[in-house]
Amino acid sequence: MISNQEDDEFVAVRVQDPRIQNEGSWNSYVDYKIFLHTNSKAFTAKTSCVRRRYSEFAWLKKKLQKNAGLVPVPDLPAKSFFSFSNEDFLEGRRKGLQTFLDKVVHMTVCLSDSQLHLFLQTPAAGRTHRGLRAGPHAVHRDGRHTHLRLVQSGLRSGAGGRLHQGAESDCFVRVHGEPSAASALPTN
């Protein structure tokens, strides 16, 4: 039997698995695994898994607030510098970050923001979000759709497994829920 009902769109985000990185050094930090599962047309990939640290959440909140204008973006849990070894603190922060993302993905103004897509679906190995920038031909309209091409720069594996600076890769996202096709965008 064929049903004419559309499936309800969903966006499920899970913040889990806090890990202390560079433990015992002055530059230690905690990052969290963020798993996304969705059938929303706003996202190119239907599942993704990335690791993010608190400073990247703070970056995201700042970008979302700038783009949302007068619409308030939810708050992050409080920042703390010396509680990494406290399991209760880590669990409390994880829950706070989970609450933040749950609220953000249910705000239309944030769900259509390319910065959220980058945060949830672009691996951050070897770079920070400050390395993300709009590349050449960043916005392309083909009459029916708007496509946004974002270029990330950072460390990438080169010949012989060596890392080199400045390699670029593309991240294509839908803008305002419109379908995106990589072939519609010019490449350099």
73-108 pLDDT, tens digit per residue, is 999 998 876 666 688 888 999 999 999 999 999 998
Report residue 41's pLDDT band, with 50, 70 and 90 as the boundaries. confident
Is the separation of the CB atoms in 63 and 88 below 8 Å? no
Look at residue 115 and tell me if it is in a domain: yes
Collapsing DSSP to helix, strand or coil, 45 comes out as coil
Could you tell me the residue range of the domain that residue 45 belongs to?
11-121
Count of structural domains within the chain:
1
Sign of CA dihedral 159, 160, 166, 169: positive
Look at residue 157 and tell me if it is in a domain: no
Give alpha helix (H) positions in 4-152.
54-68, 87-104, 108-111, 114-121
Report the CATH number that the domain containing residue 51 is assigned in CATH: 3.30.1520.10
**pLDDT tens digits, 124-134:** 644 444 444 43
pTM: 0.64
Look at residue 40 and tell me if it is in a domain: yes
Would the pLDDT of 152 be above 50?
Answer: no
Look at residue 178 and tell me if it is in a domain: no
Report residue 58's pLDDT band, with 50, 70 and 90 as the boundaries. very high
Look at residue 79 and tell me if it is in a domain: yes
C-alpha radius of gyration, the chain, whole number = 18
Look at residue 56 and tell me if it is in a domain: yes
Look at residue 52 and tell me if it is in a domain: yes
